[in-house]
Structure formats: C-alpha cells, structure tokens
Amino acid sequence: MFNSQEIISTIEMVKNEHLDVRAVTLGISLFDCISHDLDVFKNNIRSKIIKNASNLVSMCDAVGEKYGISVVNKRISISPVALVGAPFSASQMVEIALTLNDIAREVNIDFLGGFSALVEKGIANGDRALIEALPEALARTQRICASVNVASTRSGINMDAVLDISRAIKKAAALSAADDGLACAKLCVFANIPQDMPFMAGAYLGVGEADAVINVGVSGPGVVKKAIERGLENSPGLGLGEIAEIIKNTACKVTRVGELIGREVAKNLNIRFGVVDLSLAPTPTVGDSIGEIFQTLGLTSIGVPGSTAALAMLNDAVKKGGAFASSHVGGLSGAFIPVSEDLNIAEAAAGGYLTIEKLEAMTCVCSVGLDMVPVPGDISEETLAGIIVDEMAIGMINNKTTATRIIPVPGKKAGDKVSFGGLLGEAAIMNVPHATNRDTFLTRGGRIPAPIHSLKN
Amino acid sequence: MNKIIITVLGKDRPGIIASVSKSLYQMDCNLQNVNQMILQNQFAGFFIVDHPADLAIDNIHHQLEKDLEGQNLKIHADVVENKANGNNKVNEEIFLFTTIGPDQKGLVARFTEIIASYNVNVTNLTAIFKGGDEPTANIMSYQIAITSDTDQAGLFQSLRQKAAELGLDISIQHKNIFETINKI
C-alpha cells in the first residue's frame, strides 16, 4: 500500500519532471567473430549482433510500458573495432562501419558504439587503420559512434594520437560540411575511457566484459531541479549541505528506477546485467536541463563564477546517491554538460556567460568533458589538438574520465548558429581564442609521461 | 482457535480501539491483524481475531455490543474463510492505475465496471485530493491484481479509452516502480 504522497510524487516525476531511463545499451563482444577474411568477419558480426539484439527494442518498450517509464534510447555497444578488425585496412574499416550501420538499422537502433581504438600508449596497425577510416566512416554512416582513448592515468597521453585524431576530426567535419560537421558529433576522444558506459557517443564494450551485457544509463536533471525547487519553497533558507542532501536522495531514487528497468530487460533477454551509469544527461528540452539546475541553485547562469563549485557539489551528490542505490555503478556517473544538447547551456554560451575556458575548468569536476562544443570551422589542427590534450591532461592528472566531442563547423565562425537535429540539439558556435595558431608544442609528438601517482604497484 | 473478522464503524474519537481490544481480551480472544482508517471524521476498524472454540460468534458480537454500548458504533462479526478458499494469488502482479482530472459523479463506478468485466480484483482504492480548489487535482488510484489469465492489454486499453472519454489523465504502472522510488 502506498500513501497519497508516494503516488503523487512518483506520477509527477514521470509526467512533469521528465524521469526516464535515458539509455539501455546492449554490449556485445565481437571477439568470437574475428577473421582475416572481411566477408567472413562481416557475416559473423551480423549474425552475432542480430542474434543478441533482435528483441532489444521491443523488450525495452514492453518493460517501459509496464512501469510507465520510457526507455528513451536503445543502443548497442561492441568490442573495439580496431581490435576485432585489426587485420583490415582503412578502406576495409569503412566497409565494416557501413555494415554496422546496416545492422543497426535492421535492429532499429539509433546508435551503435564501438568503432573505437585504444591508443593511449601506442598505435597498432588496426588502430591506425581505424583512425584513418574515421572521417569517411562517420560521414557515410548515420548510426555509428566512434571513440578513441588517447590518454590514461597509467600510461600518459599519446600526443601522436591526439594530433592524428585532430586531423581526423577536421577531415570528418569537411566531409560532412553540408550538415555543419555532424560527423564529428559521433566521435569522442577520451582519457581513461570506461569500458561499460551506456551513453553515446563513447559507448563501447571493454575487453574484460562478458559476451553480452546490459548497461543502463539513467538521467533525470528535471527531477533533480524540481526536488531542489520544492526544498527551497518549503525552506527558503536551506544551506548547501541540505541541498546536496536533496540531490543525493533524488539521485538515489532515479538510479533505483534505472536498475529496476535494466535488470528486468536483462532478465527477459537472458543477458547478464552490468552496471547503472547514474549520469544526469540533459536533452534540448525545457525542464530537462543541467543548466537550469544552476539557476535553481541561485546562479544567474551556468558559467558565471560559482559554477564550478555548484557543479562539483552536484556531481558528487549524484555519485553518492547513486552509489547507495546500486552496487553496480559504472560508466561515467555524474553530471554531463554538453553544450548543444542542453538548451540552457547552449543559451549560456550564446549569451556570453559560458566561455570555452570556463567550460574546461568545469570539466575538472564533472563526469565528462568538452561535450558537443561547436567551434569555428577554420580552427587549426594544432589548436584543436591543444584543446583536446588540455582536456586529456585534466583526466590523466585527476585520475578521472575526461572526453572531448568538438565539432569544427565548416564555413562558420564564432556566434553563428548551428543545428545538429534531435537530441544533438543546437547552439551558437563558441569562440576559441587564437583558434588559427599553429604552435609547435602540439606537433612535437611522442608521449606525455604518466604522472607520478600512476606508480602505484 | 477459530478465526473471525470484526468490523467497527462510527464517528472517530479517542479510545475506540482500546474499548474493542479490551472487550476481546476479556473474552480470551487473540488479535491477529488489526487495521483502521479514518475517512474525514468516520472511523473504520477491522480486527481479525482467534477466539476460543467454546465461544460462539454470536456471543462475541453480543458481548462487544454490550461493552461498547453508548458509543454509537456499528459492529459486525463474520467468520473468516480458510486461505484455501480465498483468492489464488499465484502469478498475481499488482498494477496501480491512477486517474487525474475534474471530479465527476460515477467515476469509480465506470472504472470498476470495466475492471470487473475483465474479472480483475481491486485490492486497494484511494481517492487523493492534492489540496486547494484546483478541480483537476482530484486523483483516484486503484491497485488491481493482474493474473496470467487476465487480458492485460485489453483491460489497459479499455481503461485508457474510458479515461479519454471522461477527459482524465491516466497512468498505469506496475507497483514495483512506486516501491523502487519510495521504499528505500
């Protein structure tokens, strides 16, 4: 039996506060599909993915219907293609991407992640072929997401890879110029990439994972915002410790919902349940925004002084609440601050409250990094590499995941509007000071050594 | 020991449960389950009781009426059937369906008629008022027990159709979602 408050608050979380399960991602290992023959490999991956994923969408919909909580995105992550497709050339890697795109369409999945390489310490043949294939693979597909891990706390930063990937980003932008560089929105560059993340564009299935696994990404910035608002209405003098407690309690509830749904989907599909990624992931919808939480907390806008502290508190409270709710927490787990995907953050950037430098500072305390940041199309490869390596350094030194998803928009300059459509949202292009510099530090190559605190053994 | 259920209804005031339980204790009866609710100012109490074999149900009823005389309470006593004769709860799943919208006469009758036509049991029905004068703040929440024999899709579709006809917002959700969010 439930009391009236329990019933009302649950229904309001779903109906008015955008509580949903943001992603149920089916991880599929492709290591048993490996072949030196491209056609055999393509057939193997098709059979394996379709065998595991053919009921994913219908099952997620059925479970979502049962609980009245929609599973917004159903997705697939696969073993890194640079590993399972290591014998193949760049042009063959593009063929693999096209095949994966067809498979994703066949199983009705909007994004399939894992066109990935792990190159934090060195670039193997498969990695090189994949990175070379990235621009064409991303420009010619709609559903394939790619990621490249170029740094880790244990290995340092592979500057050769950073520069290679900067060139690939510029080329991918040029190949998708008609869509404002959309191909780059499907490519994440990482430090300390998690192996079990359900969120795109960075999702892939790590090498230490099971043959198939269900990982769940929960969201709920709207629910957190409303909970803070209710707390402040009832007690306008709430201190920050008490607000953090509200966020923690709310994150706990949201995480439990994700785990309930994920476990039931996994059980019904007879697939192992992996982790809950308890991230606050916004959408370009009013009321489903991380940026709005900053205003509820009492800041003029995300980006003004105080924002980094507010984000630190938010990120930590989300982790604490989620960790209590689930014993299997993984992925990124924290707060995302993607510029174009969050209407309020996009407005803060367009309105001059949020600069790229402040955004970088904030990524020191949030769960991802410079996410969905449109930059001027004439940005140099070196400056792009500089932005990426700065973000990687934050991750490497602080022993955390950081990432960049930067979109150079061909033919456009700072302040111009750009729209990527759907969940990818729209934003004004952010100003990048000294965007056309070609500083030699960024082209020296080699590796930035791992930091002293990597020496743990 | 034999089991009976005693129902006590009347205007709420302090001491009703005390009077009933004292009377039962003096008759050497053992309380097994007690539940009570207060709707506005009206008390309803339910007492499931083990009683000595030599004490007839009519005698218990009569003694209770005597002990509670003057308190203006209505008392009813009945035999509780063995579980084997009760509802079969195998494979039963509880769903909550909740309607939100303007109050109107016959709401409960119309929905429960549909539920009954699918041979589904209502295990709990609550009317919630969010407070204030907002006409749309009326909420009715029904807990219904779906079994493997139930035409679940048909029932839910009929409920949604009726809610649409009546201009009500409707949610149908498995009870576990409420437990997950609220019972930590």
Quick check: A215 and A274 in contact, CB under 8 A?
yes
Would you call B177 and A4 a contact, using CB atoms and an 8 Å cutoff? no
Q: Which of B37, B181, B182, B184 to mutate to test the interface with A (most CBs of A within 10 A)?
A: B181
**Domain shared by A179 and A252, yes or no:** no
Mean pLDDT throughout A410-431?
A: 93
- Is residue A29 domain-resident? yes
B174 touching A (Cβ < 8 Å): yes
- Distance between CA atoms of A293 and A279, rounded to whole angstroms? 14
**Domain shared by A182 and A265, yes or no:** no
pLDDT digits (tens, 9 = 90+) for B69-87: 888 899 999 988 765 544 5
Q: Classify the complex by whether its ipTM is higher than 0.95, answering yes or no.
A: no
**Domain shared by A334 and A381, yes or no:** yes
A68 touching B (Cβ < 8 Å): yes
Q: Measured over all CA atoms, what is the biggest interatomic distance in chain A, rounded to whole angstroms?
A: 68
Residues of B in Cβ contact (< 8 Å) with A14: 171, 173
**Domain shared by A248 and A375, yes or no:** yes
Measured in degrees and rounded to the nearest 5, phi and psi for residue A154 equal -80, -25
**Domain shared by A174 and A299, yes or no:** no
Reduce the DSSP state of residue B32 to 3 states and report it: strand
Of A1, A66, A257, the CB nearest to B181: A257
B59 touching A (Cβ < 8 Å): no
pLDDT digits (tens, 9 = 90+) for A133-171: 999 999 999 999 999 999 999 999 999 999 999 999 999
pLDDT digits (tens, 9 = 90+) for A297-349: 999 999 999 999 999 999 999 999 988 888 888 888 888 899 999 999 999 99
**Domain shared by A165 and A228, yes or no:** no
B169 touching A (Cβ < 8 Å): yes
How far is CA B172 from each of CA B114, B153, B158, rounded to the nearest angstrom? 14, 11, 12
**Domain shared by A125 and A174, yes or no:** yes
| Closest residue, chain B, to A70 (C-alpha) | B173
**Domain shared by A305 and A423, yes or no:** yes
Share of chain A above pLDDT 90, in %: 82
Torsion sign across C-alpha atoms A300, A301, A305, A307: positive
**Domain shared by A239 and A178, yes or no:** no
Last residue of a domain, one of A174, A191, A208: A191
**Domain shared by A260 and A117, yes or no:** no
Structural domains in chain A (count): 2
Q: What CATH number does residue A36 fall under?
A: 3.20.70.20
Q: Which amino acid is at A25?
A: T
- Distance between CA atoms of A288 and A135, rounded to whole angstroms? 32
Tally helices (H) and strands (E) across chain B: 5, 8
Q: What is the DSSP letter of B81?
A: P
- Is residue A3 domain-resident? no
Last residue of a domain, one of A173, A191, A209: A191
C-alpha neighbours within 13 Å on the C-beta side of residue A344: 25
Q: Which of A61, A66, A252, A255 to mutate to test the interface with B (most CBs of B within 10 A)?
A: A66
- Is residue A312 domain-resident? yes
Q: Are strands A370-376 and A71-78 parallel, antiparallel or unpaired?
A: unpaired
Would you call A11 and B126 a contact, using CB atoms and an 8 Å cutoff? no
Residues of B in Cβ contact (< 8 Å) with A1: 124, 143
Share of chain B above pLDDT 70, in %: 90
Q: pLDDT value at position A286?
A: 79
- Is residue A65 domain-resident? yes
Reduce the DSSP state of residue A369 to 3 states and report it: coil
Quick check: B150 and B120 in contact, CB under 8 A?
yes
pLDDT digits (tens, 9 = 90+) for B100-143: 888 777 788 889 999 999 999 998 888 776 655 665 678 888 99
Would you call B100 and A11 a contact, using CB atoms and an 8 Å cutoff? yes
Q: What share of chain B is helix, strand, coil (3-state, %, to 5)?
A: 35, 35, 30
Q: Which amino acid is at B81?
A: E
**Domain shared by A94 and A40, yes or no:** yes
Mean pLDDT throughout B89-110?
A: 83
pLDDT digits (tens, 9 = 90+) for B41-54: 889 999 999 888 88
* pLDDT for residue A211 is more than 70: yes
- Domains, chain B, with CATH or none: 2-84 (3.30.70.260), 93-182 (3.30.70.260)
Q: pLDDT value at position B85?
A: 46
- Distance between CA atoms of A101 and A95, rounded to whole angstroms? 10
Reduce the DSSP state of residue B49 to 3 states and report it: strand
Q: Which of A6, A9, A11, A15 to mutate to test the interface with B (most CBs of B within 10 A)?
A: A11
Residue A424: CB atoms within 10 Å: 20
Would you call B181 and A7 a contact, using CB atoms and an 8 Å cutoff? no
Residues of A in Cβ contact (< 8 Å) with B178: 2, 6-7, 10
Separation in Å, CA of A220 to nearest CA in chain B: 13
- Is residue A401 domain-resident? yes
Q: Which two tokens stand for residue B42?
A: 């009206």
Would you call B177 and A9 a contact, using CB atoms and an 8 Å cutoff? no
- Is residue A215 domain-resident? no
Q: Which two tokens stand for residue A267?
A: 């059980």
Q: Which domain holds residue A36?
A: 20-191
- Is residue A445 domain-resident? yes
Q: What is the DSSP letter of A195?
A: S
| Closest residue, chain B, to A67 (C-alpha) | B173
Q: Which of B39, B94, B173, B179 to mutate to test the interface with A (most CBs of A within 10 A)?
A: B173
Quick check: B113 and B166 in contact, CB under 8 A?
no
Indicate the pTM of the whole model.
0.86
Mean pLDDT throughout A104-117?
A: 96
Would you call A7 and B169 a contact, using CB atoms and an 8 Å cutoff? no
* pLDDT for residue A213 is more than 70: yes
Residues of A in Cβ contact (< 8 Å) with B157: none
**Domain shared by A169 and A284, yes or no:** no
